[in-house]
Copies of this chain bind each other. A is one copy, B any other.
């Protein structure tokens, strides 16, 4: 924030887009979370962790890598992983090369939960977002929030 003069409000179109964004994302996240809970018994943040782990070498990641990859606080990742561990989807293991470090690693059971959850989740993402946007518009979404993400990257 470096505005020194009078406030620069949003114009009508910007205002409309901003509010559509707020309303759309609120509804979208609520729906995606509900869909996952009902069909797979996990929340959206939990699902995202399973995805990251499934893609990682040896299906394991350091807690801090999970946190920065998801843009979640370390504390939040600790809590979420604790729940996933209680559910049998993940195991914690000490890191050999760094005495402070902790790996979260995906169990076979966790992998199975992900495999079961993924089609329905992706279907919902398509149905409520991707498939109702034109390809160009959806690419624009990617550009815009890519820029935002980069700008706000990890200086908490």
List residues of chain A with CB under 8 Å of any chain B CB.
1-3, 7-10, 13-14, 16-18, 20-28, 30-31, 35, 48, 70-72, 118-120, 122-130, 132-133, 136-149, 151-153, 156
Q: Are B148 and A144 in contact (CB-based, < 8 A)?
A: no
Interchain nearest-CB distance for A132 vs B (Å): 5
Q: Are B10 and A125 in contact (CB-based, < 8 A)?
A: yes
Nearest chain B residue, comparing its CB with the CB of A44: B22
Nearest chain B residue, comparing its CB with the CB of A136: B140
Q: Are A144 and B142 in contact (CB-based, < 8 A)?
A: no
Residues of B within 8 A of A118 (CB): 7
Q: Are A8 and B126 in contact (CB-based, < 8 A)?
A: yes
Known: A20-B145, A21-B141. A152 touches B8 (CB 8 A): no
Q: Are B26 and A72 in contact (CB-based, < 8 A)?
A: yes
Residues of B within 8 A of A2 (CB): 127
Interchain nearest-CB distance for A66 vs B (Å): 13
**A142 CA to B38 CA in the complex, in Å?**
29
Interchain nearest-CB distance for A38 vs B (Å): 11
Residues of B within 8 A of A156 (CB): 30
